[in-house]
């Protein structure tokens, strides 16, 4: 990913707009989480920053949590196939080998995406940088049996993992 890095010390000195511009991307299309966390500066460590950001995410009203979950792209979905994913999502899906699937594998991902959307009305979210194709497919199968409440909780946990990795790529401790 080609975003510039910033030191935590510098990040702690930024005004709200610059702080949000620097790390607002760590939560998919939801820079409001960074903006809402800004007032808690200074952060003693990258871990403390991540914990504060996640606390903001978990404190969102349920409808905003669903909006955050829905901001994530489908794995091997239309945006990925059209090459229109954001830079982080493109690199993350590629890290799991999802950009090198055979046609029948693409069809399987699309089938699972559709089943998941039909069951939960939001996309399947998993930290692909911590998984490979087989683990992602197994995750789809296992999680399709969950309740909506379980899946919202699981999706938010996966978003926290994604945010940690994106933050670690952006901020030098």
Instruction: State residue 2's pLDDT score.
Output: 61
Instruction: State residue 85's pLDDT score.
Output: 82
Instruction: State residue 35's pLDDT score.
Output: 98
Whose tokens are 């590629």? That residue is 94
For 61, counting Cβ atoms within 10 Å of its Cβ (0-12 exposed, 13-18 middle, 19+ buried), the class is exposed
Rg for the chain, CA atoms, rounded:
16
Domain boundaries, the chain: 73-155
Burial 41-59 (b: 16+ CB within 10 A, else e): eebeebeebbbbbbebbee
Architecture of domain 73-155: Orthogonal Bundle (1.10)
pLDDT digits (tens, 9 = 90+) for 48-107: 999 999 999 999 999 999 999 999 999 988 778 777 788 888 889 989 999 899 999 999
Cα–Cα distance for residue pair 86/3, rounded to 1 Å: 12
Can 72 be counted among the known catalytic residues? yes
pLDDT digits (tens, 9 = 90+) for 114-130: 999 999 999 999 999 99
Q: What is the pTM of this model?
A: 0.95
């Amino acid at each position: 990913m080609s975003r510039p890095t910033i030191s935590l010390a510098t990040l702690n000195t930024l005004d709200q707009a610059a702080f949000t511009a620097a790390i607002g991307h760590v939560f998919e299309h939801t820079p409001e989480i960074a903006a809402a966390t800004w007032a808690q500066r200074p952060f003693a460590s990258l871990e403390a920053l991540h914990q504060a950001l996640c606390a903001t995410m978990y404190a969102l009203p349920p409808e905003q949590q669903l909006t955050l979950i829905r901001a994530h792209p489908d794995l091997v979905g239309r945006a990925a196939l059209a090459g229109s994913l954001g830079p982080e999502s493109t690199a993350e899906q590629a890290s799991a080998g999802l950009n090198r699937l055979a046609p029948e594998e693409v069809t399987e991902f699309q089938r699972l995406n559709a089943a998941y959307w039909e069951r939960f009305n939001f996309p399947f979210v998993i930290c692909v940088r911590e998984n490979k194709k087989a683990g992602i497919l197994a995750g789809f199968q296992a999680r399709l049996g969950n309740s909506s409440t379980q899946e919202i909780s699981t999706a938010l946990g996966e978003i926290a993992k994604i945010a940690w990795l994106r933050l670690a790529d952006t901020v030098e401790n």
